[in-house]
Amino acid sequence: MNDAASITDALSHGRGGELSADDLAGFLDECELDGGAIDGALGEAARAVTERIYGKSVYVRGLIEISNICKNDCLYCGIRKSNKNCVRYRLDADTIVSCADEGYELGFRTFVLQGGEDVYYTDEVMCDIIGRIKSSHPDCAVTLSLGERSRDSYRRMRDAGADRYLLRHETANPDHYAQLHPASMSYENRIQCLYTLRELGYQVGCGFMVGSPYQTNRHIANDLCFIRDFYPDMCGIGPFVPHHETPFASFPSGTVEKTCRLLSIIRLLCPRVLLPSTTALGTIHPRGREMGILAGANVVMPNLSPVGVRKQYELYDNKICTGEESAQCRDCLEMRVRSVGREIVTDRGDVKK
Ligand code: SAH
């Protein structure tokens, strides 16, 4: 199988499992040459699949950016350790719990605690925070996005009540991984963490940046095969956006077209996956998040962080949603989701099994 029409057909009819990495790499090349017709067909098929499984519902996750202090030095990331001009902050347990309380009043039933790899958040500190949120809001899911930790740490946080974990694999190619990360980090450990998390009973999310430096369509084909085989519960993909204080400052951003194309392909390869339309997508295009939903995404993640620290959680330049109060952020997304004929729901938004 190698022509674009038969690959589009396979993807659209639940036969994506038959495609090889070669097929997918060639297909991605073709999509770039054809002027949007394939993207249109993929988007339509992906939207139909999304609505068949999730109806008109779009799930919301309240994102709480708990700290921008990080011991890692990922070359793409604005809060990397080497960025000496980053004004650092961390939220204490009371502040995080009150962000979740505020979110609950606004209809959120999932909270995502995301941050740099900040050693302040020991297992004791995290278990206390998780336990407090779960005991005040037992009907809510707690999602963590705190990077790589030990198996024991993941286990303790799971025992404390954490339900889900987001850890983008970043790239499924070890050489490319090494181009994006310092030598102290390894592809093998990243992937091992994902398997460990799954084994411990978390709902697990992986994902990658579209248009990251040195990324080729062959790399992306490997990402797609990894995602298809791992079949995560969630998959976070958004465009790479440069940050001026990183070694990748002068690399171009990923594009809306390619991000939407990949959202559609991932939806077709993994029909039940929870797929966010990301803030990064909204950053590179004023209607990026709406376009992501039309391409097959079914999750949005409004910001619940205290307004005073939002600008400091600057993973990339020009990040949107840094000025508004949580309620405004939610209302804005509600309106955007409505504008594409969908509805935000008050629901934990678990993956449909
Ligand atoms: N420390 C956590 C959270 C990282 S931030 C962890 O290691 O998982 C969440 C995601 O933001 C990252 O996984 C990365 O894919 C994305 N990100 C970081 N820098 C970015 C940039 N410059 N452009 C777009 N996305 C970026």
Query: Which residue has its alpha carbon closest to ligand 1 atom 18?
Result: 77
The answer as to whether 272 is a domain residue is yes
Q: Within 10 Å of residue 210's Cβ, how many Cβ atoms?
A: 26
Q: Is 147 touching ligand 1 by the criterion CB < 6 Å? A: yes
Whole-number Cα distances in Å, 87 to 36, 158, 342: 42, 31, 38
Whole-number Cα distances in Å, 138 to 161, 262, 348: 10, 35, 11
The answer as to whether 178 is a domain residue is yes
Residue 195 Cα to ligand 1 midpoint, Å, equals: 19
User: Does 1 have pLDDT greater than 70?
Assistant: no
Nearest of 325, 324, 339, 218 to residue 287 by alpha carbon: 339
Domain count, the chain: 1
Share of the chain above pLDDT 70, in %: 100
The answer as to whether 318 is a domain residue is yes
Q: Is 112 touching ligand 1 by the criterion CB < 6 Å? A: no
Task: Give the CATH number, domain containing residue 103.
Answer: 3.20.20.70
The answer as to whether 275 is a domain residue is yes
Residue 209 Cα to ligand 1 midpoint, Å, equals: 8
Q: Is 121 touching ligand 1 by the criterion CB < 6 Å? A: no
The answer as to whether 11 is a domain residue is no
Residue 77 Cα to ligand 1 midpoint, Å, equals: 6
Q: Is 194 touching ligand 1 by the criterion CB < 6 Å? A: no
The answer as to whether 350 is a domain residue is no
User: Does 247 have pLDDT greater than 90?
Assistant: yes
Q: Is 275 touching ligand 1 by the criterion CB < 6 Å? A: no
Q: What strands, in cross-sheet order, belong to the sheet with 141-145?
A: 62-67, 110-115, 141-145, 164-166, 203-210, 234-239
pLDDT digits (tens, 9 = 90+) for 288-317: 999 999 999 999 999 999 999 999 999 999
pLDDT digits (tens, 9 = 90+) for 91-126: 999 999 999 999 999 999 999 999 999 999 999 999
pLDDT digits (tens, 9 = 90+) for 163-189: 999 999 999 999 999 999 999 999 999
Q: Is 241 touching ligand 1 by the criterion CB < 6 Å? A: yes
pTM: 0.98
Rounded Cα distance between 134 and 77, Å, is 31
Q: Within 10 Å of residue 26's Cβ, how many Cβ atoms?
A: 20
Nearest of 104, 131, 143 to residue 346 by alpha carbon: 104
Confidence of residue 353 (pLDDT cuts 50, 70, 90): confident
Share of the chain above pLDDT 90, in %: 99
pLDDT digits (tens, 9 = 90+) for 310-328: 999 999 999 999 998 999 9
The answer as to whether 23 is a domain residue is no
Pocket test for ligand 1, best of 315, 318, 319 (most atoms within 8 A of CB): 315
Q: What is the pLDDT of residue 2?
A: 73
**Index of the ligand 1 atom closest to the CA of residue 248:** 22
Q: Is 155 touching ligand 1 by the criterion CB < 6 Å? A: no
Confidence of residue 47 (pLDDT cuts 50, 70, 90): very high
Pairing of strands 57-60, 343-345: parallel
Q: Please give the residue range of the domain that contains residue 232.
A: 43-345
The answer as to whether 2 is a domain residue is no
